[in-house]
Amino acid sequence: MLMRREHATKLAIGSLALLLPFAGILTVVPLFVFALFDSSSRLLSTSLAMLLIIREILGYFHIYLPLYVIAISFVASTFAPFAAKRFHAMTGSIIYVLITVILGFPLATFVSMGNLAPEKILFICLLGGLSGAFLYNVSLKRDFTVPFGTCMAMWLFSFDHPLPAFERILIICLFGLSLGLVAYWAKAADSDAVLSETLISLLVILFGGLSWFLLLLAFYLLGGGFTKYSYAYKRNLGIAQSQGGVRGYKNVYSNSLVPLSMAICYGIYENPIFVYAFISSVATAAGDTLASEIGETSKSKPIMITSFRPVEPGIDGGVTFLGEAAALFGSLIIGLLATAMSMTGYAGILIATIGGFMGTNFDSLLGATVQSHGKLTNNGVNLFATLFGALLGAGFWWILQII
């Protein structure tokens, strides 16, 4: 009985989104009433009320937080979780996204008074659904992180930017989700990683293009495939990836956040420097993954990259000749694919190979120093290594312009 009341209250809070076009900031009144009289929904109603208050304050500084974005956050934090929680993690996540889009689309159209293009609303609703489902799965304080997280994610991309047709956006999202589901069924990624990869694929394709995503996909395939390479041998040594090599969202974001940023920057500024930064960062991620997964199977003992002294397999900062060769191979593959898809000329092969190889060794250097002292996790090291790779790619492109 108590659970039913809690669900009914949250659905009632979600329905308050219908008041937004008429009441605006005054919608905080019924939200605070819910917060006052129902402890189970206090955090949720207060979080949504704070979004409206923040919007009002930002308006005084001529900063625009769209009301339709907040409206979709109402759906993503009330109706979508209610529908999704009845299902298994992966199915529930898909239901979550569907409900956010199905209810958020007409609601956003209504709140915006029909002044938004359908493709813009669909794009924003998909962002809200994917980010909301992800946050709902990984957060402990869902009633805070989901409203604020979805709102910030949608607001970040609410600026005016040319978007493809409605149908194409839908196809892109379904394409990314289908690839993620294949990885999930192949036990190469968990449900949170699937949501993350779908969100990344949507943004990379929309801002960079299909070839940009295919290059990133090549890294995912290389990483997933070589994680399984000699897995039993690596498991016996105690250095294999945990959970049978299933990748989580932290691994996805640590390797993809920098390439994603480069793709978005290219879509906004259309400067070729971001093309080479993207390629070099992906090459770093691919090179590092292959160096780890293949290098750990080397019969020769690793040496520490800082002291060149022999160390045990799996020690942070340890490198082998086989691992170095694998890093070079992985970086070269990315460069060849980028050139084959006409993202760059032949210089892209050289930039990706050198940038990826150097980025991989920078990863090992970080592992031997800051990671071994507990200053960074492996995911943090991956993030900084891909950033270093991106900077190398940008630097090489700049040198080419001078030459």
Q: Give me the tens of pLDDT residue by residue for the chain, a chain 403 residues long.
A: 556 778 899 999 999 999 999 999 999 999 999 999 888 899 999 999 999 999 999 999 999 999 999 999 999 999 999 999 888 889 999 999 999 999 999 999 999 998 999 999 999 999 999 999 999 999 989 999 999 999 999 999 999 989 999 999 999 999 999 999 999 998 888 999 999 999 999 999 999 999 999 999 999 988 877 776 655 555 565 555 555 567 889 999 999 999 999 999 999 999 999 999 999 999 999 999 999 888 878 888 899 999 889 988 878 889 999 999 999 999 999 999 999 999 999 999 999 999 999 999 999 999 999 998 888 999 999 999 999 999 999 999 999 888 7
| Tokens describing residue 291 | 């160096």
Residues 4 and 151 in one domain: yes
CA gap 374, 361 in Å, rounded: 19
User: Which residue type, as a one-letter code, is found at position 85?
Assistant: K
Q: In angstroms, what CA-CA distances link 99 with 94, 103, 305?
A: 9, 6, 50
Residues 196 and 216 in one domain: yes
Residues 39 and 147 in one domain: yes
- Helix, strand or coil for residue 310? strand
Residues 268 and 382 in one domain: yes
Which of 153-177 are b and which e, b meaning 16 or more Cβ less than 10 Å from the residue's Cβ?
Answer: bbbebbeeeeeeeeeebbebbebbb
Report pLDDT for 156.
96
Residues 158 and 253 in one domain: no
Residue with tokens 């892209």: 348
Residues 122 and 201 in one domain: no
Which phi-psi region, left, alpha or beta, contains residue 194 (left: φ > 0; alpha: ψ -120 to 50)?
alpha
Report pLDDT for 224.
77
Report pLDDT for 315.
85
Single out the residue of 325, 333, 327, 326 nearest to residue 349, CA to CA.
Answer: 333
Q: Which of these three, 113, 134, 163, is where a domain ends?
A: 163
CA gap 76, 130 in Å, rounded: 10
Helices 166-185 and 191-207: angle between axes, nearest 10 degrees: 150
Residues 26 and 135 in one domain: yes
Residues 182 and 40 in one domain: no
Which residues constitute the domain of residue 123? 1-163
CA gap 26, 3 in Å, rounded: 29
Residues 257 and 385 in one domain: yes
Report pLDDT for 243.
57
Residues 231 and 90 in one domain: no
Q: Which of these three, 130, 146, 163, is where a domain ends?
A: 163
The total of structural domains in the chain comes to: 2
Q: Which of these three, 163, 184, 209, is where a domain ends?
A: 163
Rounded to 10 degrees, the C-alpha dihedral 137/138/142/147 comes to: -90
Residues 72 and 207 in one domain: no
For residue 17, what is the DSSP state?
A: G
Residues 145 and 218 in one domain: no
